[in-house]
Structures are given as structure tokens and as C-alpha cells.
Structure 1
Amino acid sequence: MADTTEGTEAADRLESALTGRIDPGTLDEIAGLARLVPRAEIARLVHTSTPLQSAMLFRVLTKEEALDVFEDLPPAYQAELIGNLREPEVADIVEGLDPDDRAELFGELPASVASRLMKGLTPDERSMTSAVLGYPKSAIGRYMSPEVLGIHEDWTAAQAMEVVRARIDGPETVYLLPVVGPGRVLRGVVSLRNLLAADEDTIIADMVRDSLSTHALTDREEASREFLSHRLIAMPVTDQEERLVGILTMDDVLDIVDEEDAEDLARGSGTEPLDRSYLSSTIIRLVKSRIVWLLVLAVSAILTVQVLEVYEDRLDQVVVLALFIPLLTGTGGNTGNQAATTVTRALAVGEVRVRDLGRVIWRELRVGAVLGSVLGTLGFIIAGLVYGWAIGLVIGLTLLSVCMMAATVGGLMPIIAKKVGADPAVFSNPFISTFCDATGLIIYFTIATTVLGLS
């Protein structure tokens, strides 16, 4: 407990030193405090500090510690940090990265900087990095590790183990070994456990089993979701001719899924995802991530104003109708958002496909009918007791209709987005709320006009 308290106090003092005025004496203090702070806390401070402050902290870390921390940072933040490090420090860090991590970093750097760093790599590292950089950013090949240990189907178990021992430090993983035939065509996989348990004379072709693989040009989120749904530890990556070109591992998949989930969450809430931590983001960066969506939603909200203007005479006749507008629009938006979130998630994990559009519409229509019946009954009773049964009937029927409409639209929009190649999250909460607000008001005033005999 004493060590934990001392580490926490040192972390607080280190954070204060980083944010204060920097002079030669402060650098010595930072170096002394960094030796007392746990590595996990160092990583947090680097991630939440400005690139300049992080660079100062990096300079007091050992090469191994700096590399461990650097690998955990988002690529965009890595690129900013590199601009504040000295050339030898940058070269050491870049050389120590895996090819896929290095490719992500180079994708964020100016072309001239990336080219200069590429020239400083060894020929083997340069070749592997270039291979990964050749794939689009959206393709899983950009995130695979080209350092894959493939064993030939004609080898014996003893020959395969000899190769594994000789190259144990190179590949990203050796727990799952891809098996290749002539031309490095993928035949299947063999687990290290089975290889260790096999007789030395056993032919690898007799041990191979089928395995899920993915093409290098497959969308990164699609491949990652499939990886997780099958609970794999690694997955071979092939080219269009089924030749082995790399391997996808759990840490790569988790990074991709975390990034995609953060992006969906941000866009579903009407913002753009941040490419660095909140505390290290500038005010301008935070504003830019929100202002575009606010402007789009503000313009789209004009539609709701236009609907109210059309039905202004009905409101003049029965003023009490205005009291229920927030309830009805809020219910419609919330119902649509719930459906959209559920279907978007089902699309992401492969439970729903575009061809299931009809089934989703029919299912959400029924869900909306049940939800609307419950809320409509409550609305009818409460509004009827307070404002009269005619008003209660208007509110009850509107809640039923709005819930059915909103649930159907909420389930429909993400699938349409998927069909046209757009991000389903973009068509989620913000736009659905605006659409359901305007449509819900039209339904509301249409029912009120009919039930109350308005003109």
C-alpha cells in the first residue's frame, strides 16, 4: 500500500512538473519522478499531455520503455509526438515498431518525413512496411502483420519445429501456424500445441485443419468482427490467389474494433471522433469535431419549424395541443434511436444483413406497435383525466402511430446506409431524431384534426 501511495504522489508531482514552466532543473526533476511512477501511469500521462510535454517525458525513458508507451498511442498522436522528438530518438522508436504499426504511423506523417524514416530502416523492415502500406487504409491488409511463419505441408513435424525454434523471435505469433503449399498457397493451419504433441515423423499435411482466413482487401471492420465472432487467436491473410501474405492477431483486431466503436458512438451522438485523448485535444479541435454536426442538425431542424407553421391555425383553435409537442417528438426520437442502435449493432456483428431488410421492417413495426400500445394507453388515461377524453384519444393514437413509424424508420435507415456504402452510424440518432420530429408532428396534427373536427 505504501508503494502504491508513493507512486500516486510521484505521478501527481510529475504531472504538475510537466504542465509547469520547463527549465534544466525541471527536466532533472521529471527524470527523477519518472523512475518512481508505474509504467501504466507514464503511458496515461503521455496520452493526456500535449505532444511537447510528452516529448519531454519520452526523453527520460529508456528505449524499451519509450517503445512500449509509443505503441499504445493512437497513430495521429504518434505523428504529432514524432515532430517534437530528436532524429535519433525517432529512428530508434520507428525501427522497434512492428511493420503494421509502422505503416499506421507513416500514414499520418507528411510524405517527406515518412520517406526519410523509411530510408533509415533495414532492407527487410523496409520491404515489409512497404507491403503493408500498399493496401488501402480501409483494408485489413493495412493492419495485418507480414511477419508470418508459414510451414510447408510436405515437412515433417520435426522439420517444422526446427524452423519454429530458429525463427521464434521474428513472427507476430507462433501459436497458430499457417500451412502453405507450392507458391505459398494457404492450405490450412496447425496449432503449436498439436505440433508439439505430434510424432517427429508426422507429415504436416496429415495434421492440417481448415481455418477461417480473410483476403487482404477485405474491409477492416468486417474482418475484425468475423475474427471476434469466431473467437480466434489469429487468422491468416491471403491475396486474391489465396497466397499467404500475413496474419491478423488479437491485438490488431481489438485496436480496430475499439476505433470503429468509438467512431460509431461519436457519430451516433452528433460529433466526429477525436484522434487523441480529450485532455490533450485543443479547444479548436474539440469545436471542429462538433460544429459541423450542429450546423447540419440546425438546418435540418428547420423542417420541424415549417411543419409547425403549416399547422399554426390548429394550435390557435386548441392551444392545449402545444403542451404535448415535446412529449410526442421526444418519444418518437427516442424510439427511433433505440431501433437504430439495435440494428446498427446487429449489422456490425453480422447478425443482420442487407437482404434482411424486409424482416427487420416487419419486426420493428411489431415492436413499435407494442411499445406504442403501452405508451398510448398511459397517454390516453392521463391526458383524458386532465384535459378531456377527446384530447386523451388524440394523444393515445398519436403515441401508437409515432412509435410504429419511428421504430420502423430507425430499423430501416442503418440498412439503407449499409446498402449505399455509407456508415450506418451517420444515419443513426441525429438524422432519425430530426426526421421523426417532423413526421411525428404531421401525424399528431392529422389525428387531432380528424378526432377534434378541426378545420
Structure 2
Amino acid sequence: MQTAVRAKHLQQAIDGGALAPAADTLAGLPAQDAAAVLEAMERKSRTIAFRLLPKDRAVRVFDHLDPDVQAELVATLGTADVAEAFDHLEPDDRAELLDELPATIAKQLIRDLSPAQREATAVVLGFPRGSVGRRMSPEYMHVFNDDTAGSAIERIKLRGREAETIYSIPVVDHERRLVGVVGLRDILLADPADPVAAYANAPIFAQAGESAESAAWRCVDRGVLALPVVDSEDRLIGVLTLDDAAEVVDAARDEDEARAGAREPLKTPYLQSSTLAITRARVVWLFVLAVSAILTVNVLEIFEGTLEQKVALALFIPLLTGIGGNTGSQAATTVTRALATDEVEGSDAPRVAFKEVRVGLTMGASLGLVGFVVAGAIYGWGIGTVIGLTIVSVCTVAATVGGLMPLAARAIKVDPAVFSTPFISTFCDATGLLIYFSIAKAVLGI
């Protein structure tokens, strides 16, 4: 809330021509807070506000901005105005910004980099988008497995300033193959003559080509300060720091939440997003849901005669479809999370299915008993039996399908979040109605 208020006041000052007070306001904010205020402003005012920053401060603020906003400033101000800020970005952040820029501007910015920074950026850009290789930092500190603690400390003093982090240090052999990880605290407290290998732990690491989201979840869940990243021959090529991993996880969570709500995530703050951008984020999913909902209508049409004979059955349709959709979404969310943290993989599909069958059956039996008693007492025990059996069946099917859909999505290289609430709800609506009316015809003889 405070950020929004500051952004509003700053924008009003700029729109009113009070540039000196606006510059003073920005000067009094920490770099991270100033970046948040700029992101909440309208595009034109944001550009002016960024120009009000002193050069050295602009570099620090630029580093904290979202890549979309960074790209916008580059496109608006030109490469000359942001060249120094671009040069001061970490290689992984620089690669993320380059992904957002037109090719001509990106080439110009790369051309203006120092040779060392250009080489570091090229390492990261050599991996596919979405891979942990794109998000790692190639500027890391390492020690060799035959180093003593004393020589390792000297190496850290000599090269530590160039590394993104020195608190968790990969241990490699002389062919740069990862053999362990050692903490800075352990090295500092060790006898200088002790070998580093004596204090090293088995490494938790990631392959450069694997999903950045999967590696980030592993890093965050296990509290790893720096996750080593290796190539196909297990040679160390970079590290994914905990703060970068947290950014990846937050972005993935925002995307999953958006798609669970049947929309695409917005790239800019809501109030700064255009009507067209918001429409695009929502309308595609509405088309998908509208087309898929035709299945539900067709099912109702098929059983129209059954409804005419037993009108009371129509009263329970919202209840049953709601239970099915929620059960499927719960299962899908749980398995999607397990996939992201590498708790399950594609080969675990039979185990996932068996577990979800049992979970769905248990939940269905509990809810079905309540449905049987309540519906039976009010509408007759025949209707109660239909409701009870349907709830048991729907919960079992929805939980099983919901649990397997993320695995199927991963198998065909699709984001599991795409198969979350919208598709599962529609599937459960259609299959739930089929189950409901089939049981009603069998039990009630209609």
C-alpha cells in the first residue's frame, strides 16, 4: 500500500512539473523501494523518474527492476542511457533482460559490454529458455578437493569478490567435476592444515538443461544457499543462488495461480496494464472453457428424459459437479507441487493413481454417507442412495484423474498448471453427470 501511495505522489509531482521534489523523494528511498515505486508508475512518468536518478544510483535501482520494466526503459531511453546499468547486472539477470529486448537492441548492449562480462553472459545465453542454465550465475567461488583449509581461505580472499556468493562453496577435482560442497564457516573454523575434503558434504546439484523451476524448488525447499549447476559431464559451470531460486519460485507460483483462475499472468502491474493486455490474458481461457462446457450441455441433453421423470435429481447437479471439480483440483495441485519439487516423476504414475484412488474413495465414502443421510431424509432413500453412490464414484474418479493430469502434461512437455482448475473442472462436470444419471437410472429404474 505504501508503495502505491508513494508512486501516486511521485507521479503527481512529475505531471505537475515539480521535478526537484520528485528527485528528492527518490533520493530518500533505498534502491529496492525506489524500484518498486517506479514499477507502480505509468510508463511516461516512470521514464522521467528514472532520468532524475543520479548515474550511480540509477545503476543500483535498475538492478532491482523487473525485466519487463528494464526492457521498457531500454527501448524508451536508448542503449546509451542504460549501458552502465546493463554492465553492472549479474549475467543471469542480464540474460533474462536480453530475452525481453528486440534483437537489434540486444546486440548493441552485448557489443558495449566489457570482454569479461560478455563472456559470462554468453555462457548463460547458451542454454535454452526456462532451463536452470539460463538462471545460474557463472561467477562462482570454488575450491579443489585436495586444498587445505588454509589454502582455500587464501583462494577465497583472492577471488571471492568476483563471485556472487561465497557462503556455500562447491568442491571440485582438477577436471572441475563436482565432488562436494563445503560451507565457509567450516573452512574458517578448520585447522589450516586440514584438507577441505574432510569438511565437504555430498552435493545437492542441478543439471544445466533441467527446468529452472524444478531446480529452484529443490534449492528453496532444502534451504541451499547456492545450488551447484553442472554440465552433462558433471563439470561445474555455475551456481543458482537462493535469492534467484526464490524469484523463480515466486514467478512460477504467480503463473500457476493465474492459470488456476483461468487466465494468463500479467507482465505488468494491474493498473499499468492496458485493457487489451488484460483482455488477452483472460479471453483465450474463456474460449477454451466455453467450448469444453459444451460437453456438459450435451450430457444434460442426453439425460433430459431422466430429469423429466425425476425432477429432484436436478437439484443436486451443482453439488455433485462442485465436489468433483474441487476434488480434482486438489489432487492436481498436490501432484503439480510434488512434480516441481522432484518428489514424483513420470514413472510414478501407477503409484500416484493408486494413492489417489484410495484418497478419493476415502473422501467419497465420508461425504457420500452425509449425502445419503441428508438427501434420503428429505427426498426419499432412493434419491439418498443415488447421491451417496455418486459422491463416492465422483470423488474417486476426480482424484485419480486430477492426480494423473499433471504427469500427463509433463510427459507431453506442457506446463502442468495448464491442466489445473479449468480443464479438470470441465472434465469432472461431464464425467460426474454421466456417473450421476447412470446410477440414477440403475437405482431408481427410470
Q: Is residue 33 of structure 1 aligned with residue 11 of structure 2?
A: no
After TM superposition, the structure 1 = structure 2 runs for residues 293-304 of structure 1, keeping only pairs within 5 Å, are: 293-304=285-296
Tell me what 1:120 maps to: 112
Residues 57, 402 of structure 1: CA spacing in aligned structure 2 closer, same or farther, 3 A cutoff?
A: same
Contact 1:74 1:275 in 2 (8 A): no
Contact 1:179 1:186 in 2 (8 A): yes
Aligned pair partner of 2:63 in 64, 67, 71? 71
Counterpart-to-counterpart distance in 2, 1:13 and 1:340: 40
Q: TM-score, normalised by structure 2?
A: 0.92
Aligned identity (percent) is 48
Where do 5+ consecutive residues of structure 2 fail to align? none
Tell me what 1:22 maps to: 15
Residues 32, 306 of structure 1: CA spacing in aligned structure 2 closer, same or farther, 3 A cutoff?
A: same
Tell me what 1:4 maps to: none
Tell me what 2:328 maps to: 336
Tell me what 1:284 maps to: 276
Counterpart-to-counterpart distance in 2, 1:430 and 1:31: 47
Q: TM-score, normalised by structure 1?
A: 0.91
Q: Which moved more, 1:300-309 or 1:279-288?
A: 279-288
Residues 361, 188 of structure 1: CA spacing in aligned structure 2 closer, same or farther, 3 A cutoff?
A: closer
Tell me what 2:267 maps to: 275
Deviation at 1:38, TM superposition (A): 5.4
Counterpart-to-counterpart distance in 1, 2:219 and 2:170: 16
Tell me what 2:419 maps to: 427
Output one character per residue of 1:401-439: Cα deviation in whole Å (capped at 9) or x when no partner: 212221221112122222332222111111111011111
Q: How many residues align?
A: 446
Q: Is residue 257 of structure 1 aligned with residue 261 of structure 2?
A: no
Deviation at 1:27, TM superposition (A): 2.1
Output one character per residue of 1:110-146: Cα deviation in whole Å (capped at 9) or x when no partner: 1110110111111101111111111111221111111
Question: Amino acid of the residue matched to residue 326 of structure 1?
Answer: P
- Across the aligned residues of Structure 1 and Structure 2, the Cα RMSD in angstroms comes to 2.4
Deviation at 1:289, TM superposition (A): 0.9
Q: Is residue 373 of structure 1 aligned with residue 403 of structure 2?
A: no
Counterpart-to-counterpart distance in 1, 2:394 and 2:196: 62
The SS at the match of 2:416 is coil
Counterpart-to-counterpart distance in 2, 1:21 and 1:43: 16
Counterpart-to-counterpart distance in 2, 1:21 and 1:232: 44
Counterpart-to-counterpart distance in 2, 1:41 and 1:226: 29
Question: Amino acid of the residue matched to residue 156 of structure 2?
Answer: V
Q: Is residue 321 of structure 1 aligned with residue 316 of structure 2?
A: no
Where do 5+ consecutive residues of structure 1 fail to align? 1-6
Output one character per residue of 1:315-342: Cα deviation in whole Å (capped at 9) or x when no partner: 2222222222111111111111112112
Contact 1:77 1:275 in 2 (8 A): no
Counterpart-to-counterpart distance in 1, 2:307 and 2:195: 83
Question: Amino acid of the residue matched to residue 237 of structure 1?
Answer: V
The SS at the match of 2:417 is coil
Deviation at 1:216, TM superposition (A): 1.6
Contact 1:17 1:26 in 2 (8 A): no
Aligned pair partner of 2:47 in 55, 67, 70? 55
Question: Amino acid of the residue matched to residue 404 of structure 2?
Answer: L
The SS at the match of 2:342 is coil
Deviation at 1:86, TM superposition (A): 4.8
Contact 1:150 1:180 in 2 (8 A): yes
